[in-house]
């Protein structure tokens, strides 16, 4: 099947960051032509004056928590954790499925085509992901056996999940680690070796709070980033979420490892954990920076447009320097940077011939995006755009939403389960 999206402004995010006017042609899974016109197609999408850009990549998420919105707000971190753990321990497969589907629906409407998820029971979430058509890098949460509520050894569970889900169309399995506070050296070494030998992404929470850093330093004499660096478990397939309380020395260790970070500005600010991720230093020292929303208990959405803008504002405001994290860098983090962090750098994140057709169409008639010219387009996407501007979403050639109608999910059914799930889990 050949699809042509006609006469759009194409924000390619290619090496030159070119913006061109013309058609994008998709054949099957992949993009076959960018910026030309007149190529015949089986399916036509008229996008005269609309923006076509790469689908957004959310690199830190717990999609199944989407039904927990507004249940644990306005609490400081220890009280927040206590409440979340209580709710989470009560969840069954049907609750996880309802939560994942709600999160996926919100992602489609907000223009996200790939996300990295860190959770247990990824086999349940995988079914929802595959049906939704959004690509999920599903990383099974591993922690020391003494801390887990999973039945069996978490690393064995992770391995089993990865091996049994390695040939799905939209599910890409990966390795997750909860964090240094529940994962000892052996768990890190085992997870890291498996991640390297299997070529899978390894994602983990790192230095989200000052308390976590202090506690680790008390136990080991080292800060978490230095400790992981000294064990040799960091590698280019690693993706560290938060990374808010890092020293320059730790940033250099992450850079030397050639790894990625997923910064989560809204979650960090909402939980008032204080640290601001040293993004300019990460960029300077070769860390690949991407953006994550974190779960909906701490954000409370999976809106990557809001996340891009908030990240820019936070960095500028905290540095007293409006030149840090310019609009183009923020868009890079949410597209090509995210693709690299998700282990898919050569395959998605930009609109180029041969890449997977992961793209979204934004409404060029929306007043918040006008005046719209090539000169201000990136700035408008980052600082003026929002999720409601997304009209059409395609992931790997599959049309998930067209002209604001969601095609891959039964929207009414997904929404109807949301309140029931919330009341069951959160109202006690």
For 133, what's the count of Cα atoms within 13 Å in the CB-facing half-sphere? 24
Helix (H) or strand (E) holding 238: strand 238-242
Of the ranges 83-91, 272-280, 286-294, 315-323, which one interacts with Zn ion (CB under 5 A)? 286-294
Shortest spacing between CB 61 and Zn ion, in angstroms: 8
Binding range to Zn ion, per CB under 5 A, among 20-28, 148-156, 210-218, 287-295: 287-295
Residue 207 Cβ vs Zn ion, minimum distance, rounded to whole Å: 12
**Mapping DSSP to helix (H, G, I), strand (E, B) and coil, where does residue 223 land?**
coil
DSSP-derived 3-state class of residue 285: coil
C-beta of 291: minimal distance to Zn ion in Å?
13
Q: Does 117 bind Zn ion (CB under 5 A)?
A: no
Minimum CB distance to Zn ion, residue 62 (Å): 6
- Which residue, 123 or 294, is less far from Zn ion as judged by CB? 294
Distance, CA of 10 to chain centre: 23
- Give CA–CA dist 83/282, Å, rounded: 33
Nearer CB in complex with Zn ion: 11/102? 102
Applying CB under 5 A, does 123 fall inside the site for Zn ion?
A: no
Residue 296 or 350: which CB sits closer to Zn ion?
296
Q: Which two tokens stand for residue 402?
A: 């067209």
Which of 299/392 has CB closer to Zn ion? 299
What distance, in Å, lies between the first and last C-alpha atoms of the chain?
Answer: 50
Q: Which range touches Zn ion (CB under 5 A), out of 294-302, 331-339, 340-348, 386-394?
A: 294-302
Please give the Cα distance from 229 to 219 (Å, whole number).
Answer: 16
Three-class SS state of 113 = strand
Q: Is residue 294 involved in binding Zn ion (CB under 5 A)?
A: yes
Two tokens, residue 183: 């994962």
State CA 66 to chain mean position distance: 14
Residue identified by tokens 């890409």 is 172
Report yes or no: 23 and 8 within 8 Å, Cβ to Cβ.
yes
Contacts of 308 (CB under 8 A, 6+ apart): 291, 330, 331, 333, 334, 382
Q: How far is the CB of 178 from Zn ion (least distance, A)?
A: 9
Q: Which of 153-161, 177-185, 288-296, 355-363 is the region at the interface with Zn ion (rule: CB under 5 A)? A: 288-296
Q: How far is the CB of 85 from Zn ion (least distance, A)?
A: 13
Nearer to Zn ion, 116 or 377 (CB): 116
Provide, rounded to whole angstroms, the least separation between the CB of residue 58 and Zn ion. 12
Nearer to Zn ion, 294 or 398 (CB): 294
Residues that bind Zn ion (CB under 5 A): 294
């Amino acid at each position: 099947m050949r699809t042509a999206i006609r006469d759009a402004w194409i924000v390619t995010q290619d090496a030159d960051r070119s913006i061109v006017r013309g058609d994008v042609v998709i054949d099957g899974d992949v993009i076959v032509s960018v910026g030309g016109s007149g190529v015949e197609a089986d399916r036509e999408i008229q996008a005269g004056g609309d923006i076509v850009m790469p689908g957004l990549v959310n690199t830190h998420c717990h999609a199944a928590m989407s039904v927990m919105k507004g249940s644990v707000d306005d609490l400081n971190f220890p009280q927040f954790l206590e409440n979340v753990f209580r709710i989470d321990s009560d969840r069954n497969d049907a609750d996880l499925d309802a939560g994942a589907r709600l999160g996926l629906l919100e992602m489609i409407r907000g223009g996200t085509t790939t996300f990295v998820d860190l959770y247990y029971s990824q086999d349940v979430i995988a079914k929802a992901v595959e049906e939704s058509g959004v690509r999920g890098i599903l990383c099974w949460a591993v922690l020391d056996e003494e801390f887990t509520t999973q039945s069996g050894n978490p690393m064995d569970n992770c391995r089993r999940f990865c091996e049994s889900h390695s040939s799905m169309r939209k599910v890409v399995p990966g390795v997750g680690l909860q964090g240094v506070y529940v994962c000892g050296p052996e768990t890190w070494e085992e997870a890291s070796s498996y991640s390297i030998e299997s070529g899978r992404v390894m994602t983990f929470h790192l230095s989200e709070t000052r308390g976590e850093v202090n506690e680790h330093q008390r136990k080991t004499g080292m800060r978490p980033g230095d400790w992981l660096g000294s064990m040799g478990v960091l590698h280019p397939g690693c993706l560290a979420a938060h990374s808010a309380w890092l020293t320059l020395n730790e940033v250099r260790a992450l850079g030397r490892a050639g790894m990625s970070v997923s910064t989560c500005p809204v979650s960090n600010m909402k939980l008032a954990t204080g640290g601001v991720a040293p993004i300019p230093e990460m960029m300077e020292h070769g860390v690949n920076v991407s953006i994550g929303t974190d779960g909906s208990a701490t954000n409370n959405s999976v809106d990557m447009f809001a996340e891009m803008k908030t990240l820019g504002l936070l960095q500028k405001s905290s540095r007293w320097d409006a030149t840090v994290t310019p609009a183009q860098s923020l868009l890079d983090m949410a597209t090509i940077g995210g693709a690299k962090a998700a282990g898919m750098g050569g395959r998605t994140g930009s609109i180029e011939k041969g890449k997977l057709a992961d793209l979204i169409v934004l409404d060029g008639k929306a007043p918040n995006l006008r005046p719209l010219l090539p000169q201000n387009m990136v700035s408008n996407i980052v600082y003026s755009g929002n999720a409601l501007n997304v009209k059409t979403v395609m992931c790997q050639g599959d049309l998930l939403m067209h002209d604001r109608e969601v095609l891959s999910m039964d929207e009414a059914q997904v929404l109807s389960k949301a309140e029931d799930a919330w009341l069951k889990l959160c109202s006690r």
